[in-house]
Amino acid sequence: MANDASAVSDARSPAVSNDKLADPFTPPADSSLWRKNFLLGAATASYQIEGAVDEDGRLPSIWDTFSAKPGKVLAGDTGAVACDHYHRWEADVDMLASLGLEGYRLSIAWPRVKDAAGLPNRKGLDFYKRLLNRLKEKGITTFVTLYHWDLPQHLEDRGGWLNRDTAYRFADYADLMSRELAGTVDAWATLNEPWCSAYLGYGNGHHAPGLADGRFATQAMHHLLLAHGLALPVLRANDPASQKGIVANIGRGTANSASAADQRAAHLFEVQHNAWILDPLLKGAYPQDLFELWPGTEPLVLDGDMQTISAPLDFLGINYYFRTNVASDGAHGFRDVPLEGVERTQMGWEVYPDGLRDLLTGFKSTYHNLPPIYITENGMASDDKVIDGHVDDTQRISFLKLHLAAVNQAIKAGVDIRGYFLWSLMDNFEWAFGYERRFGVVHVDYSTQKRTIKRSAELVAKFLKERKARV
Ligand code: IFM
């Protein structure tokens, strides 16, 4: 691990920043990222880029409803138009291919492909067929997420993820999609970040549908994980050649002091962010510490549910962004203690690549059945501006280099990591923060829909070209 740590500081050394203008991105010659089979791609999600929310029979989603409510999204933004990707998908695929990106992770809008009676909506299905066929023609590896938060509103009206039936409706939806799209999808992810759906959507109300109750959060999580577990065998039966997995966001919690109480607080932070999802998936049980943190919130679990949830995965998608420094709250929990003098992004999130390495190596020792990993999201928001036709997103270039160095260290420490997706291909609708926060490696001018390749994307493209040219 000593060598690994020095590799991180090497990546942050003055030598790197002096090199900024020449090439501040390309990984060192001994990095595993030079391996040609290490997939490098970019990710997006349906509601964040597609727009066209009422075209071709698309039904309302919980995010249409939520974002229409005053005060829920910054500046009253909604996904109604977003990046207009529904109409501009061909040019967007050309742009992706022109950057040499090898993988594309997209999500399907459930309300676009089924009508309220649960019957297929051909026009919506055709959109994804065209898109995936074109990606395949371009030789791009396709990762498709079935649920990236845009639940059909009519299902929310019947209780959403608080209603066990939604898990069965999800399995039906997975059945339709995998029958229709088999052969064009290299990897299926059932859910994106169930932590966000359950905790932000039902626990604190910051996301759609905007409910706030701890018991709701744990029950919604159980139904989300059940939905995942019910969908897996369906995907396996309909599309045996593809990989099947799930995507979890993970958070690093560090203790504000060496005191036992603060160490415990950091542990509980990670239980709440990571073990809450990973333990049921990989150990077949919820972590009991979660219910010390949130007493009385045990979900209703029926016989057989945990076996369904913990069926083997072909891959685990990991989304990582930042760490949280915490101290004991003096009772059963933790409180955030923001650190001074650390580098932060436009979101206020700390730039902390070591957290990614440490979590990945920690998971390898905690979960003996840890599946192969793809980093399905990593990136940062910055207030990027187009100046003379260019976007010089210096902080993002350094961020990506540091996080890819952390991934390389985890690989060298024995974690089986097979690829990395930039979040995001282009600036998009950043949920409760609307369009103000720009996560893309491509800039989007929302008044004209003009795309401008940022410097970070140019450098990633340069690296991919060099890697491809190597014999
Ligand atoms: O934009 C989101 C994405 O939809 C899910 N993961 C985190 C990203 C940045 O907040």
- Per-residue pLDDT tens, the chain, 471 aa: give them: 233 333 333 333 333 333 445 678 999 999 999 999 999 999 999 999 999 999 999 999 999 999 999 999 999 999 999 999 999 999 999 999 999 999 999 999 999 999 999 999 999 999 999 999 999 999 999 999 999 999 999 999 999 999 999 999 999 999 999 999 999 999 999 999 999 999 999 999 999 999 999 999 999 999 999 999 999 999 999 999 999 999 999 999 999 999 999 999 999 999 999 999 999 999 999 999 999 999 999 999 999 999 999 999 999 999 999 999 999 999 989 999 999 999 999 999 999 999 999 999 999 999 999 999 999 999 999 999 999 999 999 999 999 999 999 999 999 999 999 999 999 999 999 999 999 999 999 999 999 999 999 999 999 999 999 999 996
Closest ligand 1 atom to residue 249 Cα is 6
Alpha helices per DSSP H over 271-352: 276-283, 290-293, 305-309
Asked whether residue 259 is domain-assigned, the answer is: yes
Domain tally for the chain?
Answer: 1
Could you tell me the two tokens for 210?
Answer: 């905007």
The answer to whether position 9 is within a domain reads no
Q: Which of 156, 193, 270, 350 is catalytic?
A: 193
Active site residue 270: no
Is 3 domain-assigned?
A: no
* Pocket-testing residue among 207, 377, 380, 425, ligand 1, by greatest number of atoms within 8 A of Cβ: 377
In this structure, the residues whose C-beta lies within 6 A of any atom of ligand 1 are: 45, 48, 193, 249, 319, 377, 423, 430, 439
- Which residues line the annotated binding site for substrate? 48, 148, 192, 321, 423, 430-431
Q: Has residue 1 been placed in a domain?
A: no
Q: Domain range for residue 308?
A: 18-470
Domain membership of residue 41 (yes or no) is yes
Residue length of the chain = 471
DSSP code string of 342-403 = --B-TTS-B--HHHHHHHHHHHHHH-TTPPPEEEEEE--------BTTBB--HHHHHHHHHH
Provide the annotated binding site: 48, 148, 192, 321, 423, 430-431
Number of the ligand 1 atom closest to the C-alpha atom of 192? 5
465 within domain boundaries = yes
d(CA 94, CA 103): 13
* Nearest atom in ligand 1 to 433's CA: 10
Would you say 360 and 410 are in contact if contact means Cβ atoms under 8 Å apart? yes
Catalytic-role residue among 377, 436, 458, 466:
377
Structural domain contains residue 59: yes
| Interval between CA 185 and ligand 1 midpoint (Å) | 22
4 domain residue, yes or no: no
| Strand partners of residue 116 | none
Tokens representing 295 are 């007493």
Please say if 377 is a catalytic residue: yes
| Beta bridge partners of residue 107, listed in sequence order | 145
430 CA to middle of ligand 1, Å? 7
Q: What is the CATH number of the domain that holds 448?
A: 3.20.20.80
Per-residue confidence (pLDDT) for residue 23, from 0 to 100: 79
Q: What is the pLDDT of residue 471?
A: 67
Query: Mutate which of 49, 200, 439, 441 to test ligand 1's pocket (most atoms within 8 Å of Cβ)?
Result: 439
